[in-house]
Amino acid sequence: MLSRKLVCVMRNTVLCATAIFSLTMLCIGQEDRPFYYYGDQKIYLTPSTSTVAAKIQPSLSTTYQTKYTTLSNYFRALDPSGSRPDLRILVSKNDASSTKATAALSTGLEAKEIFKVPVYKIGKITLVVQNEMIVQFKPDTTENTREALLKKFSNNYRHIDGTPEKYLVTLGNPESTLRVSNTLHDNHSVEYAQPNFLSIVAPIEGTHWNAPDVPENSPGPLDASPGNVSVAPSDPLFRRQWNLDNHFGNAQDGKASADISIIKAWNKTMGSDQIRVAVLDEGVDINHPDLVNSFAMQDGKVVQWDAILESDSQQPAATESHGTRVAGVIAATANNHIGIAGVAPGVRIIPIRMGSREDSADGVWTTPLIVDQAIRKAIQLGADVINASWQMSKADVVDGAIQYAATKGRNGKGTVVVCAAGNDGGPVVYPAQLASKFPIIAVGATNSWDDVKTRDSKDKETFWASNMGSELTVVAPGVGIVTTTNHSVGGDSNNDYVYDFDGTSSAAPQVAGVAALVLSVHPDWTAARVREHIANTATKLGTGQHSDQWGFGRVNACRAVEALNCN
């Protein structure tokens, strides 16, 4: 008969062995999953069961549409390089089952004229693996060392940004991209190596498009000179801009003090035309009547950039209105008797197109390299502030671009980078979460009751919630924001505005506008000082210095520009 002590030991041994076995299986299962490196962190990927992607052989780049006519029923063509049909990626439509999409490819797959491309998911982000990767070598490596290593995997590579250590490498097949980039990452000469994913992000935006009756003109007219703003501007929709100042009968339930106190801020400044705000988005409509005078100009032309097409001209498609909405929140012309007023109507916008919704009903697509180039171009074009109302998968190359902007932009003073925190009620998304590493601003959203936006908050918009976390800097109104949209969509000028621009996408540009007002008053301040000042002057929404829910508080434009009689 076994002693009680021996039975106990045996029982504990079995339990311990079971725990070790379970832990081992868990680790093996995790290690077996595909991943890429972000710094030294492994970002694990889940194969997509709902999206199919394919690539056309370059020899068929101009003829596949006629040869494989059924593909258009199931796929949309994305051209991440802008003008390179040989790099075109086909992505299944959101209404096509993966089975039907795969079947449509069968003939081309058998003929080896089309090949499938790996597709993964990280949360709500879809990652399509291209045959491209970005490799950054350590500064002390020689050119011979760099090129000898790259040639082991590909003879097709080029420098990026004119930087000797930074390369875009093109491989023969996307199936090998993850493996090769991970192998390069482990090399002692390499700072980082990661795939140049085609990233598709599903947007969360307002869905109620029935515009209410346009109210009568607000009291006015407004004398735009600083120190003389005591009434609402003549813009007829200002009454509905509760987020700016709701002391003029704005049509929104809630608290009278839930706005950003813009009228009193305008007594100090409405923004300097020497301050430039880059809107990095899916493009901005430069012909919108409420924005046409809001753009930075050079030699009689709008300063703009298309980072997808690498062109000094950009124009969003009819379906790409997000950037136009953001631009209106920041700098729509005030007191012109039409539409709305922006937070900083005196500053100038630089439109930079770095994402596209065209041919992608599932969301907006971009790549890490496009984002990197867009940020660096914004600095080159003189951006004092950058607005980033979007999210993407983590990427070292984007880290580097944002750090460069925040510390080296504006001739070393740093460009103020403002990022939306996210709309799913989870942790702060990337790149806003970089506010814990670099002097950038991460923005959450509130409603007209001055509550942080949640799925059960009083506004009754249950389909989204502001993201939260220690990285959050401030919050700003983000429910039912009235703003511009692409001009005369469908030929009807009544469609020039939307009344429900929801999300941290609409909160962030309000903070970007306030940052532009601060720089209008203090043009020599560093980006770090602007961030600290906006945080210190924010209106507290609870106890304590900082909260994961509301950061340092709701942005207060009046206090930020040091105007008089602020609340």
pLDDT for 4 equals 42
User: Which of 58-67, 122-131, 161-170, 255-264 has the weakest average pLDDT?
Assistant: 58-67
Q: Are 92 and 53 in contact (CB under 8 A)?
A: yes
Residue 206 has pLDDT above 50, yes or no: no
pLDDT tens digits along 274-320: 999 999 999 999 999 999 999 999 999 999 999 999 999 999 988 89
The token pair at 413 is 């003073």
| Local confidence band at 65 (pLDDT 50, 70, 90 cut-offs) | low
Q: Which of 79, 281, 451, 502 is catalytic?
A: 281
Instruction: Name 204's Cβ contacts closer than 8 Å, sequence gap at least 6.
Output: 423, 424, 463, 464, 502, 503
Confidence of residue 360 (pLDDT cuts 50, 70, 90): low
User: CA–CA separation, 229 vs 262, rounded Å?
Assistant: 10
Structure tokens at 317: 């498609």
Q: How far is the C-alpha of 265 from the C-alpha of 539, rounded, in Å?
A: 14
Highest average pLDDT, of 309-313, 358-362, 415-419, comes from: 415-419
Q: Is the pLDDT of residue 377 over 90?
A: yes
Residue 533 annotated in active site: no
Name the pairing type of β-strands 305-306 and 348-353.
Answer: parallel
Whole-number pLDDT of residue 11: 40
% of the chain surpassing 70 pLDDT: 83
According to the model, what pLDDT value does residue 562 have?
94
Q: Is 505 an annotated catalytic residue?
A: yes
Query: What is the model's pLDDT at position 163?
Result: 83
Write down the catalytic residue from 92, 181, 261, 505.
505
Q: Is the pLDDT of residue 23 over 90?
A: no
pLDDT at 419 over 60: yes
Q: Looking at the predicted structure, is the pLDDT value of residue 6 above 80?
A: no
Q: How far apart are CA 458 and CA 476, in angstroms?
A: 16
Supply the pLDDT for residue 463.
92
User: Which DSSP string corresponds to 179-236?
Assistant: HHHHHHHTSTTEEEEEE--EEEE---------PPPPPPPPS-----STT---S--S-G
- Gap between the Cα atoms of 457 and 465, Å rounded: 9
Token pair of 17 as six digits: 């062995």
* CA–CA distances in Å: residue 382 to residues 51, 207, 371, 411: 39, 35, 17, 9
Segment 320-341 mean pLDDT: 96
**Can you give the pLDDT at residue 190?**
98
CA–CA dist 403, 337 (Å, integer): 41
Q: What is the pLDDT of residue 82?
A: 57
pLDDT tens per residue, range 145-199 = 999 999 999 999 999 987 889 999 999 889 999 999 999 999 999 999 999 999 9
Find the catalytic residue in 79, 235, 288, 322.
322
Helices then strands, each counted (H, E), the chain: 12, 26
Could you confirm whether 466 is annotated as catalytic? Answer: no
Question: Are β-strands 276-281 and 385-388 bridged in parallel, bridged antiparallel, or unpaired?
Answer: parallel
Of the candidates 199, 205, 202, 201, the residue with the CA atom closest to the CA atom of residue 505: 205
pLDDT in tens, 106-125: 888 888 888 889 999 998 89
